[in-house]
């Protein structure tokens, strides 16, 4: 089968080294923990569901997506697409035999969910505190049994910024307690956010990025008292490299180090993201050296005492020699459920699709697109029934086989790219008892490409390094190129996505496969 398991991007070079990024996909705001010999990652998911992806690795380079912690977003408003809202930067921790994720919903508050096994059932998230504009939360349990929530602020909702706030909480993360304190106020680090709190050798370490997503740097704070005062050090910056940001992430050690600080070189690693516009916030990993009690990240290429990101490095020596992997992308639709790589653009339910009506095919149910004030259909980017995947590489192609014979009159279905607040899609429409191949662009309107003899054909899109998307199709053996090209962009804090949508009052369309190459 062409494209099957041919990952468009792999970080593992197969020679004991890896290439950054380790994940060339929009796993934004990553946080990682180690439990025993297993590494677990989660990331923000904003308006998309299921939310809070859970990824697993044995070596920090080869990752697979194994679950989601949240099925749907709490709140009635998420039945419709809420671009820029939903789940912002989360954190993941292991405490008292359970896995904990804490995540912000910027309009609603701070939520928590737990699981005994990250691959298993996560509990329904509960609201720890209702609060507008609290973001980037992290849970922390101290050696004395006391527990804390640390978070930042979204200036757009709270009017506050460059502030990290520490709040005592009950150990079960069900309520906040008195005694909170603003422990960091750093206007010299604009947009300070994304705090992660650790304790090593009696010292409290607080990791937080400053300087904005596109042009920022990584700061570490440390203190002997959890409430401070804290001293600070910039430990990672873009410098002379091409890796802008580098933004918030996670500090982890290898199983052989067992939490020792400073630990030997090669025992500690820092995973963070780089904003790559339409391709999303892609995940990099840098080696960490402990110098004078500070975790220095990357390599000091400029000799100024501040690390810079590496593009290639030796893999962490975890003792695992498993297969080269990447998060799933290609789907043959022959499993009883959708692969973990798929997300809907808003809250979803079982009525959106079926994998059993036509075994080996994904049947998507038609649902109307919303309309604007003039009565025109709006973009599929605002359709909760759009099912899509992250861009998985800097260059790639996607092909799908569509059978639109069950579409009702006036309905259409096809292959879509959404990003930058706009969309383009190539599909089949049933109109006046005929089948038509349509190309629909938000900014360019509707373009009829051909009249079809039958509603079965292969749809393709190829994405280049500049996020230029070129659609085509094969109908009865004849390839058809489609113009103009569509340039995808980032929007609503997330990168562009590629997926499938069916629009109309009723009926359905079926897809035989969805293959990346």
Which residue numbers are catalytic?
Answer: 29, 193
Pairing of strands 294-297, 217-223: unpaired
- CB neighbour list of residue 323: distance below 8 Å, 6 or more residues apart: 62
> How many CB atoms lie under 10 A from the CB of residue 10?
18
- CB neighbour list of residue 432: distance below 8 Å, 6 or more residues apart: 409
Cβ–Cβ < 8 Å for 89, 41: no
Helices (H), 283-408: none
Taking CA atoms, 497 is separated from 85, 300, 390, 422, 437, in Å, by: 17, 35, 5, 11, 22
Nearest to 140 by CA among 228, 206, 88: 206
Taking CA atoms, 470 is separated from 28, 50, 331, 390, in Å, by: 26, 29, 21, 17
Taking CA atoms, 281 is separated from 390, 469, 473, 498, in Å, by: 11, 19, 30, 16
Nearest to 501 by CA among 322, 406, 367, 408: 367
- CB neighbour list of residue 61: distance below 8 Å, 6 or more residues apart: 11, 12, 18, 22, 285, 315, 316
d(CA 40, CA 481): 42
Helix, strand, or coil (residue 387): strand
Residue 483: exposure state from Cβ atoms within 10 A (0-12, 13-18, ≥19):
exposed
d(CA 434, CA 429): 8
d(CA 326, CA 130): 37
Pairing of strands 231-236, 63-70: unpaired
Cβ–Cβ < 8 Å for 438, 451: no
d(CA 481, CA 461): 10
Structure tokens at 148: 């804390």
d(CA 210, CA 233): 12
């Amino acid at each position: 089968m062409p494209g099957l398991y041919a990952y468009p991007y792999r970080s593992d070079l197969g020679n004991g080294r890896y290439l950054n990024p380790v994940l060339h996909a929009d796993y934004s705001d990553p946080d990682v923990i180690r439990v025993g010999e297993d590494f677990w990652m989660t990331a923000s998911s904003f308006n998309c569901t299921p939310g809070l992806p859970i990824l697993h690795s044995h070596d920090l380079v080869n990752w697979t997506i194994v679950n989601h912690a949240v099925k749907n977003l709490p709140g009635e408003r998420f039945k419709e697409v809420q671009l820029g809202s939903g789940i912002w930067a989360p954190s993941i921790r292991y405490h008292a035999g359970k896995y904990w994720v804490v995540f912000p919903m910027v309009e609603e508050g701070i939520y928590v969910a737990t699981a005994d096994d990250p691959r298993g059932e996560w509990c329904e998230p509960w609201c720890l505190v209702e609060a507008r504009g609290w973001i980037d939360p992290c849970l922390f349990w101290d050696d004395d049994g006391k527990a804390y929530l640390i978070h930042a602020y979204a200036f757009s909702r709270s009017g506050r910024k460059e502030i990290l706030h520490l709040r005592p909480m009950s150990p079960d993360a069900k309520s906040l307690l008195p005694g909170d304190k603003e422990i960091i106020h750093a206007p010299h680090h604009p947009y300070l956010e994304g705090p992660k709190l650790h304790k090593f050798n009696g010292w409290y370490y607080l990791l937080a990025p400053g300087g904005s997503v596109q042009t920022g740097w990584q700061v570490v704070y440390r203190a002997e008292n959890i409430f401070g005062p804290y001293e600070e050090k910039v430990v990672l910056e873009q410098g002379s490299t091409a890796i802008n940001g580098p933004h918030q992430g996670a500090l982890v050690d290898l199983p052989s180090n067992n939490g020792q600080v400073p630990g030997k070189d090669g025992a500690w690693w820092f995973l963070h993201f780089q904003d790559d516009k339409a391709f999303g916030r892609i995940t990099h990993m840098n080696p960490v050296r402990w110098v004078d009690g500070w975790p220095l990240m990357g390599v000091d290429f400029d000799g100024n005492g501040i690390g810079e990101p590496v593009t290639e490095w030796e893999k962490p020596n975890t003792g695992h020699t498993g297969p080269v992997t990447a998060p799933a992308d290609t789907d043959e639709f022959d499993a009883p459920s959708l692969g973990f790589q798929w997300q809907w653009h808003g809250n979803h339910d079982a009525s959106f699709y079926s994998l059993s009506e036509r075994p080996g095919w994904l049947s998507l149910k038609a649902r109307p697109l919303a309309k604007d004030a003039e009565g025109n259909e709006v973009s599929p980017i605002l359709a909760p029934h759009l099912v899509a995947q992250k861009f998985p590489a800097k260059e790639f192609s996607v092909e799908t086989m569509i059978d639109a014979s069950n579409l009702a009159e006036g309905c259409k279905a096809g292959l879509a790219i959404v990003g930058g607040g706009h969309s383009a899609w190539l599909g089949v429409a049933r109109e006046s008892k005929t089948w038509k191949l349509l190309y629909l662009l938000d900014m360019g309107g509707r373009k009829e490409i051909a009249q079809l003899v039958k509603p079965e054909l292969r749809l393709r899109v190829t994405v280049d390094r500049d996020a230029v998307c070129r659609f085509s199709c094969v109908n009865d053996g004849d390839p058809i190129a489609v113009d103009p090209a569509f340039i995808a962009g980032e929007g609503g804090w997330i990168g562009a996505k590629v997926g499938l949508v069916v629009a109309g009052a009723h009926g359905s369309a079926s897809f035989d496969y969805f293959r990346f190459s």
